[in-house]
Structure 1
Amino acid sequence: MKKIIFIICPFIGLYWLMSSCEDFLEVEAPNHIITSEVVFNNDETAIGALNGIYNQLYTSAFSSGWQDSVTALAGLSSDILEVIRSTNITLKEYDQNEINPNNTRNFNIWSSGYNIIYMTNSLLEGLANSNNVTDETRNRLEGEAKFIRAFTYFNLVNLYDDIPLLTSKDYRSNALAARNSSEEVYELIIRDLENSINLLGESYLDGERTRINNYTSMALLARVYLYRENWGYAESLSEKVIAQSGIYELLENLDEVFLANSKEAIWQISPAGRGTITSHTNEGSIFIINPIFASLSHFKLSTGFVNSFQEEDKRFQDWIRFHSGLSVYYPYKYKIRNSTESITEYSMVLRLAEQYLIRAEARVMQDNLIGAIDDIDKIRSRAGLELLAETNPGISKEALRETIMEERKRELFTEWGHRWMDLKRTGRAAELLGANNSLWQDTDILYPIPEEERMKNPNLTQNAGY
């Protein structure tokens, strides 16, 4: 059993390094934790605590962009990524939709997510109990922490469905928490994001899009309402983000989209959180084929996905590369595989293109086909494709929604498991994934609750099929 370690420094932030928040069941409360009164005795230390959470997002498995991230594993679960080496069993299980509850990568997603949730809960409690933080700082930190908590819960609930809903740092009760319904989890997500919108302003701190503003919270809430099929709210929120043309824009040069502080970025995570001299993103590291030891690379793009592109599609030309040695296509959204130079790319989490796709889908579901075509044509025009308004203005509602789904697949591939979650929420996972997978079962749309967590917490039930 790994020990839980808390390290707090008033100048560099707050870092919780632990194996899992559930580990509290088997250890006593650490006697060396600096109390919230000390951590939040002024604005500087409180801000340092939040900076620690942002840094931890880059090293936490689910949000890191590394092999155990939502981006990589949900990409394998869908029809986007495939493993290069079939001997890598823990990755192959995601590729085949046959995940063992003892899969260590699955445990890493779960435990790292709850680690971040514990950190945000601790920060929120510390702010609530401190009288030494100014109102301006308190509001901003609370808004950012609630966004991060909502963002983490959103990923977990979409991977596992019913999950424990933890809103305090009481490790004794957290360690034995049962699963709450997904409806209850979504209620907290929406409440946290609404609070975040009200607490935050429009500006990015120091111009860095690694810190969130109120439009970041609006963008995520738009996605939440899309998933909840609340089309009107999804359209309204995405429209507010899109309207901020002075802050955000669709970049014509696709090679600039994933650069640090790109004008298309709504929220990014910086590799600086790694805390080493290396400056590349994890996505660049795992997706770009190793130039020396190509056979050691793990991920390739599926043939079906590559074939879904038209030859003239700029996304195919700029965001995909072919490795002749392995005879595979691989993602090339990030251009740097390994570097110790100045950071030039940040990991993308939320960007403007998704907001156009959200609004397009919300509009088509409200029978505003003209508005939906206008939105999807923004994405198609940037990709160098013919416009629907010119080639198929009378497209049916059903065909237009399918077109939007296809554009989501080609635009958002290898970004936070969009394709996997799209297939699930639209009820098409069995149809599209089961057709080429004899092992497919309808219960495969959910990941298993990690067996290691269930052994420590007898109140955690398992998802069906595992």
Structure 2
Amino acid sequence: MKNRIIVFAGLLTLIISMSSCNEEFLEETNPTEVATDSYWTSLDQSYAGVVTLYTTMLNHYILNIQPDAMRSDMGYPGWNRPSPSGDMVVWYNQIYGNSNQYIERKWEACYEGIFRANQVIEGLEKMEGSVEDKDRWETHMAEARFFRGLLHFYLHSSFNEGRIIIRDFVPKSAEDFNLPVSSSEEVIEFFREDLEYAYMHLPAKWGEKKDLGRVTAGTAATILGTSHLYEEEYDQAMVYFEDVINNPEYGYRLVKDLDLLFTNAGEFNDESIFEIAYNLEHKPELGQWDEESMSNRLGRTGPGQFGAGRGILPVAWITYQYQNEPLDTKDPRNWVSDGEGGSKLRNVSLRASSMIALVEDDQSMYYLDGTTQQQAPFTQFEFGYYKKYTNHDIVATELDLPYGSWRSGKNVTVNRLADVYLMYAECLIKTGDIDGALDAINAVRKRWGLQLVGPAKNSAHDYNGINYDSETLMDHLIYVEKPLEMSIEGHSIRWIDMRRWGIIEERFNNLSEENYYVEDYSYVDQEGITKIKPLSHLVKGEKPSDSNSIVIKDYEQAADNYKAEVHAYYPIPLGEILTNPNLSNN
């Protein structure tokens, strides 16, 4: 699918645009009528329409990874501590409003995808009685309904406490565009019907390599389970999560070859459930700001020294947690050469090494020419860099990419199996199965060689020996397991989690009171020479009087500014309010 996504996109240039529509536009010949009446005559054409649904997901604003990292407890904007800079500051400080471009464009991008899905659905309905290949027709319909359901789900979980516009047909008049919002309950019922259809009619797995990346029944099950979890419907959610985890037809498994996680080599690995396919081969003529481009801008989330622009820097608390994750000393992967013929424990966990660049990491290669310890700059009081979206594994600098640092071909994984395990663990906690929840959490931790949680079950691994109850295990999931495993991933995962757990205000208040500082870090390089990385090692606590560091604090303004009624959900965008007279009672 990665190499075929663009093949048919050009066939549908007449049907790919639907942002805020006005009266002048509607006075023109409606291109959607031409497409619906004349274009949809064969399954080859409907397949071309299905492909445009995958290209819809290329739009950065659908996931809004950067702003949602900043408004949660995950990301620091730009550089220049203690004074953050750039257009992400409004998110970090909780001062965004309904005219913010990221809010406007997310709304538009999601409804553009819904528009495309409705065109495919209506086209398929018109040809239903005349096609011979019923299975193929059904699959196309399932893919179209999956994306229509998915995008309504995204809108529901992001905007206006779930009260959004349901669009289930191709609009042909001003009245069709200017619909009122529906209740949250109505929206849930609508998108679940679409996702259930997809779940029942999509294949468990695609058989040919050319179809790699197409959504499956397992993808639909994951989104359905997530939607039930978000509504605290734990029993229903578990049905889908158990299917995803245990159904051998899907072929999902937690990847243990850690070179295949968050790397270019690991695209479409066995843990990936839903993945957006980017590349640098197709449509190279489109610039980085064109949301139809096949490349993404997320390579610019690492250190500035490597042309990565510091797009999302990790905040202090999560860096400190990664830095101090306890290892399973009985896992041989955690023992490495000490350079003197013996062995030593890794300085940081395998999970930390995969997800974040830390000065303590003397094992992982970073931008090809040395270890993270040697390579990462750690200037400007920076103490870590996210690695998930950068190309540190294939180039010496992001500037070495064929079209520069603004254009990355690295895929973006939206849903993966580890998250399903942790959502399943939450359901088990909430329904009283603590042992089952520990098993689910430990399945993820074991993959990383981390110390397991709970009372010891055997002597093959280290356990922390804590007897958890539902409250303490839920706290571990909220503040340790889920954020460290899923940092800056997926569709607003951390923000939605914080909101539904009711911890946002408390979280900002608590984090704003924590103090950190950085100190010099000494290490021995490959030639045996002791070197110093100035002000690179993060320490929690009060800054010593003789330190050259600044006091590092996060979320002081967010703690003052956050108001649930304003910030918990995106507001309906100003552009939609101004053009849609039926939103007066939204």
Same fold (TM over 0.5): yes
Q: What does residue 317 of structure 2 align with? A: 304
Is the 8 Å Cα contact of residues 498 and 504 (structure 2) preserved in structure 1? yes
Shift of 1:301: 0.9
Amino acid aligned to 1:330: Y
Provide the secondary structure at the position in 1 that maps to 2:255.
coil
Q: Confirm or deny that 1:153 pairs with 2:183.
A: no
Q: What does residue 135 of structure 1 align with? A: 134
Provide the secondary structure at the position in 1 that maps to 2:88.
helix
List aligned pairs for 1:347-366, cutoff 5 A.
Answer: 347-366=412-431
Q: What does residue 119 of structure 1 align with? A: 116
Deviations 1:108-131 (A, max 9, x none): 111111111111111111111124
* Structure 1 unmatched runs, 5+: 1-7, 64-68
1:407–1:70 CA distance, 2 compared to 1 (3 A): same
Q: What does residue 357 of structure 2 align with? A: 321
Deviations 1:414-461 (A, max 9, x none): 112211010011111121124432112122211122112211112225
1:19–1:45 CA distance, 2 compared to 1 (3 A): closer
Q: What does residue 40 of structure 2 align with? A: 40
Shift of 1:98: 1.3
1:202–1:96 CA distance, 2 compared to 1 (3 A): same
1:401–1:127 CA distance, 2 compared to 1 (3 A): same
Shift of 1:384: 2.0
Of the three residues 548, 559, 562, the one matched with 1:440 is: 562
Is the 8 Å Cα contact of residues 314 and 384 (structure 1) preserved in structure 2? yes
Q: What does residue 529 of structure 2 align with? A: none
1:184–1:209 CA distance, 2 compared to 1 (3 A): farther
Of the three residues 471, 475, 492, the one matched with 1:417 is: 492
Identity %: 22
Is the 8 Å Cα contact of residues 41 and 132 (structure 1) preserved in structure 2? no
Q: Confirm or deny that 1:76 pairs with 2:70.
A: yes
CA distance in 2, matches of 1:129, 1:280: 31
Is the 8 Å Cα contact of residues 120 and 148 (structure 1) preserved in structure 2? yes
Of the three residues 227, 234, 245, the one matched with 1:224 is: 227
1:87–1:450 CA distance, 2 compared to 1 (3 A): farther
Of the three residues 262, 267, 270, the one matched with 1:260 is: 267
Amino acid aligned to 1:414: I
List aligned pairs for 1:106-255, cutoff 5 A.
Answer: 106-130=103-127, 131-133=129-131, 134-160=133-159, 161=161, 162-171=163-172, 172-204=174-206, 206-207=208-209, 208-245=211-248, 247-255=251-259
Structure-2-length-normalised TM-score: 0.71
Amino acid aligned to 1:137: R
Shift of 1:393: 5.5
Is the 8 Å Cα contact of residues 257 and 265 (structure 1) preserved in structure 2? no
Amino acid aligned to 2:315: S
Structure-1-length-normalised TM-score: 0.88
1:345–1:181 CA distance, 2 compared to 1 (3 A): same
Shift of 1:351: 0.8
Shift of 1:321: 1.5
* Mean CA deviation greater in 226-235 or 276-285: 276-285
Provide the secondary structure at the position in 2 that maps to 1:100.
coil
Q: What does residue 287 of structure 1 align with? A: 301
1:37–1:175 CA distance, 2 compared to 1 (3 A): closer
Provide the secondary structure at the position in 2 that maps to 1:354.
helix
CA distance in 2, matches of 1:404, 1:71: 22
CA distance in 2, matches of 1:332, 1:388: 26
Is the 8 Å Cα contact of residues 288 and 331 (structure 1) preserved in structure 2? yes
CA RMSD of aligned residues (A): 2.7
* Structure 2 unmatched runs, 5+: 1-5, 286-292, 326-347, 359-376, 392-397, 457-463, 513-558
Q: What does residue 23 of structure 1 align with? A: 21
Provide the secondary structure at the position in 1 that maps to 2:197.
helix
1:9–1:82 CA distance, 2 compared to 1 (3 A): closer
1:24–1:292 CA distance, 2 compared to 1 (3 A): same
CA distance in 1, matches of 2:237, 2:300: 33
Report the number of matched residues: 447
Provide the secondary structure at the position in 2 that maps to 1:271.
coil
Shift of 1:190: 1.3
* Mean CA deviation greater in 206-215 or 120-129: 206-215
> Normalized per residue, which structure has more helix?
1
Amino acid aligned to 1:440: Y
Is the 8 Å Cα contact of residues 40 and 126 (structure 1) preserved in structure 2? yes
Name which one, 1 or 2, has greater alpha-carbon Rg. 2
Deviations 1:51-91 (A, max 9, x none): 12211221x2333xxxxx42222111100012015675542
Amino acid aligned to 2:357: R
